[in-house]
Amino acid sequence: MSNLLIPKDYHAALDLKQTELAIKQIKDFFLRSFSTELRLRRVTAPLFVLRGLGLNDDLNGIERPVSFPIKDMNESMAEVVHSLAKWKRVTLAEYQVEPGYGIITDMNAIRADEELDNLHSLYVDQWDWERTMTAEQRNVDFLKQIVRRIYGTILRTEFYICETYPQLHPFLPEEIHFIHSEELAQMYPDKTAKEREDLICQKYGAVFIIGIGGKLSNGEPHDNRAPDYDDWSTPNSDGFIGLNGDLLIWYPILERSIELSSMGIRVDKDALLHQLELQGKSDRKELYFHRRLLEGSLPLCIGGGIGQSRLCMILLHKAHVGETQSSIWPDDMRKQCKELGMTLI
């Protein structure tokens, strides 16, 4: 059970019935509020896509997609999506979504290689969103503006659910702090990336780390990113590289940082070519998605994902994501969680 974090004196604030009701209330409220805030239209998303189109997200590049042959299509292979980062961009083009507007959808995925713990599950559910933008908006100031609006929506949802259930008390700070991953590495040069995240989140409560994917001065990226959705290599006005990042909060129940969203300004033609070359994947230029981007038929955009069960987990003061979603867990983890008062759905 080395992957299980055991909180001190944990007691669930809501029972199972209250939890199920509160999950729906959070999801309904957040979706309405977030869609209104960023002018996002709901669309229907796929659970799987065809292999070989370049539409599936490679995440860190090592995860294996769940796949299966399609009997009625000459055994063509389909892959369960890892995320919808590239599919959403194609959808913006097909729906002809104008700048300043976007789309949002419920993304469901299976990540068979995930290491199971308090925060990570085989089942992924998140709000995937994408918003068309102009060339003038491809800068770090616009990225920060969108992040503040997302964080403001999270704060409104926290207020709403704490008003609905008085046994819950707000803990998120009013403001979110911005820092570049290079600054963070220089601030804590002897720490790992995860340790740096914990330290900066404990200090500020809510942090957006800019620049995830590009190599830092220590020769390592803060974390890995695929080369073909987020722009992590373009210089920005802060004097660093990267127009993407992660939104994290400090979670006192588990005494650690928790990522709620990964997002960013997406690659344009130049950034795509550069990042493919950096990662030795220039052969992807021939795939359907990449050809469309390079020929200019896909819009400039910004987008990301926000974990639904994870957001519910922290707003309901739960200690395990399995308390806010139904998934498969090892028998010994399920047994130990029950003994600790963490009732896994």
Which amino acids are annotated catalytic?
57, 111, 126, 246, 259, 262
Rounded Cα distance between 11 and 54, Å, is: 45
Residue 205's SS3 state is coil
- The one-character DSSP state at 241 is B
Q: Kindly give, in sequence order, each residue whose CB lies less than 8 Å from that of residue 190, ignoring residues fewer than 6 positions away.
A: none
Among candidates 1, 305, 303, 257, which has minimal Cα distance to 124? 305
CA geometry: angle at 300 spanning 208 and 233, to 5°? 50
Rounded Cα distance between 126 and 200, Å, is: 25
Q: Which three-class secondary structure string do you get for 32-84?
A: HHHHHHHCEEECCCCCEEECCCCCCCCCCCCCCCCEEEEHHHCCEEEEECCCC
Q: At what angle do helices 288-295 and 85-94 cross, to 10 degrees?
A: 50
Q: Say how many Å lie between the first and final Cα of the chain, rounded.
A: 19
Rounded Cα distance between 255 and 199, Å, is: 11
Q: Which two tokens stand for residue 263?
A: 């997002």
Q: Which two tokens stand for residue 295?
A: 């020929």
Q: Which two tokens stand for residue 241?
A: 């590289």
CB-based contact 86:228 (threshold 8 Å): yes
